[in-house]
Chain A
Amino acid sequence: MTEVLASRSFRGLATDEAINDVHNDMDSLWLDVPFVNDMDQMTFTTAVIESASNIVQHAEPAAADPVELGVDITVAPLLLQARVSAYNAKPPFGPMEPATPGEDAESGRGLALIQALVTTVTFERQDGTNTWVLSRTSSQD
């Protein structure tokens, strides 16, 4: 089993405040694992914030309960992983493929950016929860 060197977990209503809370969690996480190089910290933080923002902006509640955002991040030797979840959410609608917006478009770049930042992105839906699993192989040089 892979050794977890550091982790952070967040769960709360999918609001603007949650984005800043998750970002603060990540900033504190990197202090625990200074051997993770700046490039890995920068790219992984960006991917996680993009994914969490996508949930806050687009996830719709499946029923009366509001959508909650969950972010679970683990740092293992050579691997950074995040599970970014939308609880109480409808399945995502529309294409899950990255868009190719024109250069004057003001939105639509998020998914392509996430894919460029991490090694793998997978999607799971279970018990009314949408989860994006982001993994980045860490170089730790």
Chain B
Amino acid sequence: MEFSYEVKDSYAEVKADGRLNMVSAPKLREFVTDVIAGGSNRIVVNLENTAFMDSSGLGALIGCLKAARQAGGDLRIAAVQPQVKMVLQLTSMDKVLTAYPSVEEAFSND
């Protein structure tokens, strides 16, 4: 899995391309922790190119959400693909990690 980030006007976009599984989940957590430590506490995780997520990947997203909130910000997800959407729904975590259609829309109302 490949990670990258870009600081935008009011948030940082984190791209996670590939499979978000037990191998890459700790790396996502570490990557987002570093972005937050760098001063960005409003994070949008762009999942456009995340074709797969398992419960480890979901756990990492929840960990990143908690880290962003502890830093006084928030974490949102965008451009969710069908498999990821299915895992979010089956675990009822779609209520906690609200999926936005696009990165731009994630923080557009606040």
Residues of A within 8 A of B (CB): 16, 19-20, 23, 38, 42-43, 45-46, 49-50, 53, 56-57, 103-107, 109-110, 112-113, 116-117
Contact = CB atoms under 8 A, between A and B. Distances in A.
Interface of B: 19, 21-23, 52, 54-56, 58-60, 62-63, 66, 82-83, 86-87, 90-93, 95-96
26 contacts: A16-B22, A16-B23, A20-B19, A20-B21, A23-B19, A23-B21, A42-B86, A45-B52, A46-B86, A49-B21, A49-B52, A49-B54, A50-B54, A53-B21, A53-B22, A53-B56, A57-B22, A106-B60, A106-B66, A107-B59, A109-B59, A110-B54, A110-B55, A110-B56, A113-B87, A116-B90
Nearest to B89: A116
Nearest to A106: B59
B56 A43 contact: no
A38 B93 CA distance: 22
A106 B86 contact: no
A105 B92 CA distance: 13
Nearest to B56: A53
A22 to B, nearest CB: 10
